[in-house]
Amino acid sequence: MNLRPLTLDDRLFVTEYLRRFPPVISELTFTNLFAWRHTRPIWIDEFRDSLLVFAETKAGLVLLGNPIGPVTLAEVFDAYGSRISEAERFPKDKLTDAALPPGATVAEDRDNADYVYRREDLASLAGRHFTKKRNHINQCLAAYDCQYETITPETIPECLAMQERWCTDRECKIEPGLRGEDQAIEETLLHYGELPLTGGAIRIAGRIEAFTVGEALNPSTAVTHFEKAMPQFHGLAQLINQWFARENLAGFSYVNREQDLGIPGLRRAKESYSPDHLVEKVRIVLVVSNVGADLLR
């Protein structure tokens, strides 16, 4: 075992594992793991030709997602023993009874289920169930001169400036969840040129007022990491969603737009786009006497 904290230097190593064993959950991209590592430290290990990702919590280490490679969940639990307390964000369709150690309990994790949409649905918004979305977009286009562009390293400072304005309006420094997201967005944008990202932005009166960033999750599915629109522009959030799917994600069949975290308003918004399916996840809790923290020293 060679447990170590995730750093930017691991991006090619991690990305190669993900290329060989394409993930289905939104957590398993290098960008996601790297960007959120300040909120919850991320550790990685290579074990039996597989990559393991762990999150550090107050209770110790938890396995984050499924092992990336051929090793089974049971083998990981057996090897790590009391060093890990549980597995979380584990894709339900990869879970088998044979993989569970004795005494383990499995709980549904609906709040972290990923919403997956047909890219064509997001790009075209065709059909009666998208009438309200189209109306919002038409109102935005009628009221403002919206210009779309692909994000480049040269436009990153403007995106960061917009994110700062957005955070000022939402008081990100006070609300812990928004503060963590703001830090993750900043990390993503500052390393935009070093990560396999694609992004789009909308200018109104020459200033960036919306942006979004995503990347390939697997050969058929893209994942959208962040999407921000200044709230004073009615319909702008719907517009950046549509134009990004149309202009930047044309090579994919599906778009994973991550989870709703159990937030009622966010759940309604994600459900309103008629997802094709959810990537269901579970939490697997182990019965252990104590969790060793020596590996973190």
User: Could you give the CA distance from residue 280 to residue 260 in angstroms, rounded to a whole number?
Assistant: 12
Q: Which residues pair with residue 36 across a beta bridge?
A: none
Q: Considering only CA atoms, which of 175, 171, 199, 204 is closest in space to residue 185?
A: 199
What's the CA angle centered on 138, arms 178 and 160, to 5 degrees? 30
* Alpha-helix residue ranges (DSSP H) falling in the chain: 11-20, 30-35, 73-80, 119-124, 131-143, 156-170, 176-190, 236-247, 264-271
Helices and strands in the chain: count of H runs, count of E runs: 9, 14
In order, the DSSP letters of 181-244 are HHHHHHHHHHTGGGTT-EEEEEEETTEEEEEEEEEEEETTEEEEEEEEE-TTSTTHHHHHHHHH
User: 67-79, pLDDT tens digit by residue?
Assistant: 999 998 888 988 9
Report the pLDDT value the prediction gives residue 5, as an integer from 0 to 100.
97
Q: Is the pLDDT of residue 287 over 80?
A: no
Report the pLDDT value the prediction gives residue 103, as an integer from 0 to 100.
79
Band of residue 175 on the pLDDT scale cut at 50, 70, 90: confident
Listed in sequence order, the residues at least 6 apart from 17 whose beta carbon sits closer than 8 Å to its beta carbon are 50, 51, 68, 69
pLDDT average, residue stretch 90-99: 84
Max intra-chain CA distance, the chain? 63
Q: Is the pLDDT of residue 207 over 80?
A: yes
Question: Phi/psi at 131 (nearest 5 deg)?
Answer: -60, -45
Domains of the chain: 4-112+281-296 (3.40.630.30), 114-279 (3.40.630.30)
Listed in sequence order, the residues at least 6 apart from 261 whose beta carbon sits closer than 8 Å to its beta carbon are 111, 112
Report the pLDDT value the prediction gives residue 93, as an integer from 0 to 100.
92
Report the pLDDT value the prediction gives residue 292, as an integer from 0 to 100.
44
User: Could you give the CA distance from residue 55 to residue 53 in angstroms, rounded to a whole number?
Assistant: 7
Q: Considering only CA atoms, which of 62, 63, 60, 55 is closest in space to residue 34?
A: 55
Band of residue 193 on the pLDDT scale cut at 50, 70, 90: very high
